[in-house]
Amino acid sequence: SYELTQPPSVSVSPGQTARITCSGDALPKQYAYWYQQKPGQAPVLVIYKDSERPSGIPERFSGSSSGTTVTLTISGVQAEDEADYYCQSADSSGTSWVFGGGTKLTVL
Amino acid sequence: QVQLVQSGAEVKKPGASVKVSCKASGYTFTSYYMHWVRQAPGQGLEWMGIINPSGGSTSYAQKFQGRVTMTRDTSTSTVYMELSSLRSEDTAVYYCARDLVPAAKGQDYWGQGTLVTVSS
């Protein structure tokens, strides 16, 4: 079955830039989405269509795509950004979706 | 305002079935697909399947094929997810999340989650 691969953890100091990658064979053909999840809460969409930001999401969140890897970038990280981040996409057929394993962002 | 309100927590015995509901309001129910996603304690998000409330068509993750059924009731703007032959590994929080699939907008609204505990 199709898989998306993320690093388990990323650590940055406040004000620095955090980059979280997600790799998958179908990413050149399928859009990627990014979700932020804080403990005890439902996930929140922070990026859709690889690089679009929903209304209400701070400008410091951005997304990019290159080949089989997509990247979530958080510029000027704040303490409130500490959370788990998940990428999501569809397989090459577009009928089955999958999440990456998640990346825990720690703000030092 | 858009709301997805899920049914309450459930405790089930191994081998039983559970049916979780997700009632939508604040938007045109048949215009958005609905995903079901689960999260076991301390684990990541796991996609289970998707239903198109307009026609009722579904697509399930291979892992759940034969054990999951997603349905909808357009008269009450409610989608349902039924999981059968429950085992302890199915203990998780189950979420519904809407998606304007053709527009690739992602899952922009999520239900509050329903905890399903499977225990003898």
Digit-coded pLDDT (tens) for A45-60 = 999 999 999 999 999 9
- Alpha-carbon distance B55 to B45, whole Å? 27
pLDDT for res A1: 87
pLDDT for res A17: 98
CA triplet B57, B58, B60: central angle to 5 degrees?
170
pLDDT band at B105 (very low <50, low <70, confident <90, very high): confident
Half-sphere exposure of residue A23: CA atoms within 13 angstroms, side-chain side: 4
Chain B positions touching A95 (Cβ under 8 A) are: 59
A35, B50: Cβ pair inside 8 Å? Answer: no
The token pair at A6 is 């993320």
Chain B positions touching A54 (Cβ under 8 A) are: 105-106, 108
B104, A96: Cβ pair inside 8 Å? Answer: no
pLDDT, averaged across chain B: 96
- For chain B, the C-alpha Rg in angstroms (whole number) is 14
* Per-residue DSSP letter, B88: G
Alpha helices in chain A (DSSP H): none
The beta strand positions in A1-108, using DSSP E, are 9-12, 18-23, 32-37, 44-47, 61-66, 69-74, 83-90, 97-99, 103-107
pLDDT for res B102: 81
Other Cβ atoms less than 10 A from the Cβ of A39: the count is 7
- Alpha-carbon distance A94 to A89, whole Å? 9
Chain A positions touching B47 (Cβ under 8 A) are: 88, 96-99
Place of tokens 């225990």: B119
pLDDT for res B112: 98
At residue A44, the 3 state secondary structure works out as strand
pLDDT band at A28 (very low <50, low <70, confident <90, very high): very high
pLDDT band at B90 (very low <50, low <70, confident <90, very high): very high
Q: What is the mean pLDDT of residues A11-39?
A: 97
Kindly report, residue by residue over B6-57, the tens digit of the pLDDT. 999 999 999 999 999 999 999 999 999 999 999 999 999 999 999 999 999 9
| Residue from A87, A98, A80, A91 nearest A14 by CA | A80
Taking every pair of C-alpha atoms in chain A, what is the biggest distance, in angstroms? 40
| Residue from A88, A97, A73 nearest A18 by CA | A73
Ranges A62-66, B50-54, B79-83, B104-108: which has the least confidence:
B104-108
pLDDT for res B104: 84
Task: Report whether pLDDT(A77) > 90.
Answer: yes
pLDDT for res B103: 83
The token pair at B1 is 């305002």
pLDDT for res A10: 98
Q: What is the mean pLDDT of residues B70-77?
A: 98
Task: Report whether pLDDT(A62) > 90.
Answer: yes
- Alpha-carbon distance B9 to A53, whole Å? 33
pLDDT band at A89 (very low <50, low <70, confident <90, very high): very high
